[in-house]
Amino acid sequence: MGFADSYLQKQKGFSPVFADLPSEKLRYAVVIPAYCEPGICGALESLWNCKRPQGHIEVILVVNAPEDATPAVRSANLDTLKNAAEWIRKHNDPFVRFLLIDRTSMPARDAGVGLARKTGMDEALYRFSQVDQPHGFILSFDADSHCDDNYFLAIEEAITANPALNGLDIYFEHPVSGTGFPESIYRGITEYELHLRCLNLFLRYSGFLYAFHTIGSCFGVRADAYAAQGGMSKRKAGEDFYFLHKIIPLGQFAEINTTRVVPSPRISDRVPFGTGAAMGKYVSSELEGIMTYAPESYLLLRTFFQQAAQLYKRDPVETADSLHQLPGILPEYLEELHAVEAIGEINANCSSPSSFINRFYRWFDAFRIVKFLNYASSSVYGKVPVRDAALQYLKITCYPLEDKSISNFELLKLFRKFERGF
C-alpha cells in the first residue's frame, strides 16, 4: 500500500506509464507539459545543467495534443517526441532521470495544459508513492522555460530548512532584451511582467494573506499535499491559479528567491489568457501599453481587510452596520456575496481570532478578489496603464523616486528587487 493509493484509485482512467521502481532517493519530480515544442531540448538542457542536490530527480515530459489535432500539430508533436527521445538517450545520470510520456491523442473534450500537467503530476505522485516518499516534491515547469543552475539546490535548501512546507513559489524573470524575439515582444513582456508584479505587490499592500504568483513554470507542491487537495485541475487555462489556491491557504507555503525561472515571452494562442495570449494581443493590436487594475481598487480592499479582525464574534446586525459603512463600491459588492451571512457562519465555526482570520480569507479568497477587481474596473475605475499603476504604488508606499521619467525597464528592475527582498 502506498500513501497515494486512495487518491490514485479515484482518478478515472489513471494507469501508471512506467512500471520500473524509481530510485529510493527520489526527492524531486519535474513535470513539463509540451505541445508543439520541437525545441524542447532547451528546457531539458537547462534542467540537466543544474547543480545536483542530495536527492535524486526525475523529469517527466508529457507531449500532448487532442485526438482531433491538425496535421501541423501532429507533425510538430512527432518532432517533439523524436527530439526528446534522442536527447534523453544521450543523457544518463544516476541523479537525474528523464521520462517521456506520449499523450498526443487526448480526448478532445478535456485535452489541454491542465490535463497534461495533471497527467505528469499524477505519474510523479505514483512514483513517489512506490518508494514511500510523501514528502517528495512535484515541481511544475514549462517546455519553453529555462532556469538558473542552482534551481534544485535552492529548492532543497528551502525544504531542508522547513520540512513541513506544503508548497513553494519560485522567483521568475522574463527575458526583456536580446535577439531571440522582436523588439515589440520585449516591450510588451516588460509591461506584462510589471503588471504581474504590481498585482502581487498591491495585493500584499492590501493585506491579503495569500498573495503569491501563480505561474505554471514556477511552483512546487509536496506529494502528500498534492494528493490531499485533489490533485491538479484539468482546466484548459488557469489550472495553475486554481490549483495553487487550494495549496496556499494550507499554510507552510514559501517563496524561493535565491534562484530563478526564465519563462518565455513568446506569443501563444493555446489558452485565452496568460503570457502568450497577452503578448499576442499586444503585438497584433499594436497597443500603446498593457493595462492593469486601478490602485483605488486595492485601497478599498485594504480598508476592508484592516477591519476584518474586528468582525470576530460580532452579531449579524453589527456586522451589517460595519460593512455598510465601508467606502466606495465595497458595500454593494459584499451584499452580492451575502457577506453578513457568510461572516456569521464563519463566526459560528471558529473559536479564536486566528481561526476566524484563517476562515475569513478562505471565504474572501483569490477568486473573490479577482472578481472584485474586475467588478471595480467595469463599474467605476476602468483599467489604467501599468506604468501609471507602478508609479502610484511607489507613491503610496512612500518610495523615494526622484526621476519620474524612469523607463519601464528600470521600473521593472525596481519591482523585481522589491519582490526578491532586496
Calpha distance 412→391 (Å, rounded): 11
Domains, the chain, in order of start with CATH, read 5-288 (3.90.550.10), 295-381 (no CATH)
Beta bridge partners of 170: 256
Most confident stretch, 144-148, 233-237, 402-406: 144-148
Beta bridge partners of 99: 60
Buried b (16+ CB within 10 A) or exposed e, 389-419: bbbbbbeeeeeeeeeeebebeebbebbbebb
The per-residue DSSP string of 278-326 comes to HHHHHHHTT-SS-EEE-HHHHHHHHHHHHHHGGGTT--HHHHHHHHHTS
Calpha distance 137→302 (Å, rounded): 34
Calpha distance 220→226 (Å, rounded): 10
Reported as a single tens digit per residue, the pLDDT across 269-328 is 666 667 777 767 877 775 568 899 999 999 999 999 999 999 999 999 999 999 999 999
Reported as a single tens digit per residue, the pLDDT across 117-165 is 999 999 999 999 999 999 999 999 999 999 999 999 999 999 999 999 9
Sheet of 253-262, strands arranged across: 96-106, 56-66, 26-34, 137-140, 219-222, 167-172, 253-262, 146-147
Residue 213, C-beta contacts closer than 8 angstroms, at least 6 positions apart = 169, 172, 196, 200
Per-residue confidence (pLDDT) for residue 272, from 0 to 100: 63
244: enclosing H helix or E strand: helix 239-247
The per-residue DSSP string of 31-99 comes to EEEESS-TTTHHHHHHHHTSPP-SSEEEEEEEEEEETT--HHHHHHHHHHHHHHHHHHHT---SSEEEE
Q: Band the pLDDT of 87: cuts 50, 70, 90.
A: very high
DSSP 401: -
User: Cβ(106)–Cβ(67) under 8 Å?
Assistant: yes
Per-residue confidence (pLDDT) for residue 1, from 0 to 100: 66
Grid cell listed for 217: 513554470
Calpha distance 392→292 (Å, rounded): 12
Most confident stretch, 137-151, 179-193, 392-406: 137-151
Buried b (16+ CB within 10 A) or exposed e, 196-222: bbbbbbbbbbbbbbbbbbbbbbbbbbb
Per-residue confidence (pLDDT) for residue 422, from 0 to 100: 63
Calpha distance 365→239 (Å, rounded): 16
Residue 421, C-beta contacts closer than 8 angstroms, at least 6 positions apart = 257
Q: Band the pLDDT of 358: cuts 50, 70, 90.
A: very high
Entry field: residues in the chain: 422
